[in-house]
């Protein structure tokens, strides 16, 4: 799992049928102190996240397991909105 900050949205009118109705968000992967370590990934939102939210993101085969993303052709899924991070 990784920490990611939502920085925007992606709109795709032509996409795989399974992705219809799913919000695509652009996120920056961050370390625990908020430093961007991987910029601009697209993730499927399963938790109602929005711009500025800090989220927990899974990638790879784990991204296709959460409810709302099961079986979709995705590589990154937001699975939680983080309330606080303490380092």
pLDDT digits (tens, 9 = 90+) for 34-62: 999 999 999 999 999 999 999 999 999 88
pLDDT above 80: residue 3: yes
Show the tokens assigned to 66. 């959460």
pTM of the entire structure? Answer: 0.91
- Strand 36-45 to strand 76-81: parallel, antiparallel, or no bridges (unpaired)? parallel
Cβ 20 vs Cβ 54: under 8 Å: no
Query: Residue 71: which pLDDT band, with cuts at 50, 70 and 90?
Result: confident
Residue 75: name the closest of 31, 16, 34 by CA.
16
pLDDT above 80: residue 24: yes
pLDDT above 80: residue 20: yes
- Quickly count: other Cβ atoms within 10 Å of residue 53's Cβ: 19
Helix (H) or strand (E) holding 42: strand 36-45
- Strand 2-10 to strand 54-59: parallel, antiparallel, or no bridges (unpaired)? antiparallel
pLDDT above 80: residue 67: no
> What CATH number does the domain containing 62 carry?
2.40.50.220
- Structural domain that includes position 8: 2-12+21-81
Number of structural domains (the chain) is: 1
Domain contains 59: yes
């Amino acid at each position: 799992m990784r920490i990611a900050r939502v920085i925007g949205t992606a709109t795709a009118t032509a996409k795989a049928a399974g992705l219809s109705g799913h919000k695509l968000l652009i996120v920056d992967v961050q370390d625990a102190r908020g430093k961007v370590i991987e910029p601009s990934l697209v993730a499927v939102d399963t938790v109602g996240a929005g711009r500025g939210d800090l989220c927990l993101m899974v990638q790879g085969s784990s991204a296709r397991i959460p409810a709302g993303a099961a079986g979709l052709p995705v590589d990154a899924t937001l699975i939680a909105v983080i309330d606080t991070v303490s380092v």
